[in-house]
Amino acid sequence: MTIGLGLGTSRFPFSTGKEYFEWVEFCELGSVDSIWQTDRLVSTEPMLECMSTMAALAGATEKIRFGMNVASIALRDPLLTAKQCATVDLLSNGRLLPAFGIGSALSQDYKATGIPTKRRGKKADEALQLIRRLWYEDDVSFDGEFFHYQHATISPKPENRKIPLWIGGSSEAAMKRTAKFGTGWLGGIDSPEQSKIMVKGIKVALKDTGRHIDDDHYGASFSFRFGNPDEESARKASEGLRARLNKDPSRYMVVGDAGEIIKRINEYIDAGCHKFVMLPLAGNHREMMMQTRHFIEEILPEF
């Protein structure tokens, strides 16, 4: 079973775009599996917009794959999103890893803009269906609750004729959505225990849809740091997770040495996850490069 270890960014830890692309180049030269960008539009912390970042990565890299972790599709227009993904995939020679979820109802993206959260799951389902059809079909008509298309088409199509569609979320509805539309599942802030529940639930739901997802297309995301819990980046992350989850954050992040990080990866593997978006806890360019160097030298060789 192939294990893919990618790196992601949430809060933008760099001072300039040049620093970011130095890190991207370092990841590519270091054989990191993939690069991922968290999606958050409204934020007091610096956060890159994920689709723009995908386009930038397409031009800045040659081999490494990249994706969004995960884009809130209920906030986005499916026609524009399908077109953006197809364009980026073509320009990157088929390296885009599209991943979508519905976004939390508590998200500031919804609150600040007054966008209704009611039935956002249904809206997401319609959008996912349309995106998938637009990638593969030449004449798409659709009459739904939220979207109404007549003879829509996009061209060019994605370069990857089997372009994946990863689905995020940690609910029963996310299990069903993945089983109905996804080619893979990518967990967000989930413990190994919750990831195991999700993987098993999706496999049960697949029996109802009659579809198949490869065993190595289940993924997990978690934060890590080589260091100790008293360091500022680790302490802030722990406090933020505790406030957000209202529980002990230790099962959702790892701070320690390579052995502790590898142990946590193996716990997710035992839960059925084989693809990873690992988010270095770093407050600036120097720390990000240091964390990534440790990751490349001490974690990648083990898998």
Two tokens, residue 223: 């934060």
Query: Roughly what angle, to the nearest 10 degrees, separates helices 120-136 and 78-91?
Result: 40
Q: What is the pLDDT of residues 257-270, one digit of tens each?
A: 999 999 999 999 99
> Does the structure show a pLDDT above 90 at 245?
no
Two tokens, residue 237: 């992350």
Q: Please state which of the ranges 63-77, 240-254, 274-288 shows the lowest mean pLDDT.
A: 240-254
pTM: 0.95
Instruction: Supply the pLDDT for residue 19.
Output: 98
| Separation between Cα atoms, residue 176 and residue 187, nearest integer Å | 14
Q: How confident is the model at residue 116 (pLDDT cuts 50, 70, 90)?
A: confident
> Does the structure show a pLDDT above 90 at 35?
yes
Question: 242-247 long-range CB contacts below 8 Å, 24 or more apart?
Answer: 244/189, 245/189
Two tokens, residue 154: 């996009």
> Does the structure show a pLDDT above 90 at 105?
no
Instruction: Supply the pLDDT for residue 229.
Output: 94
Q: Which amino acid is at 130?
A: L
Is residue 8 left, alpha or beta, with left meaning phi > 0 and alpha meaning psi from -120 to 50? beta
Two tokens, residue 177: 């959505």
Q: Hey, what's the torsion of the CAs at 289, 292, 298, 301, to 10 degrees?
A: -130
Instruction: Supply the pLDDT for residue 244.
Output: 86
Q: Mean pLDDT in the chain? A: 96
* pLDDT, average across residues 115-135: 95
Domain topology for 4-276+288-302: TIM Barrel (3.20.20)
Q: What is the pLDDT of residues 262-292, one digit of tens each?
A: 999 999 999 999 999 999 999 999 999 999 9
Residue pair 152/141 in contact (Cβ under 8 Å)? The answer is: yes
Token look-up 């197809």 returns: 86
Q: What is the pLDDT of residues 151-199, one digit of tens each?
A: 999 999 999 999 999 999 999 999 999 999 999 999 998 999 999 999 9
Q: What is the pLDDT of residues 191-237, one digit of tens each?
A: 999 999 999 999 999 999 999 999 999 999 999 999 999 999 999 99
Q: How confident is the model at residue 131 (pLDDT cuts 50, 70, 90)?
A: very high
More confident residue, 159 or 103: 159
Instruction: Supply the pLDDT for residue 107.
Output: 84
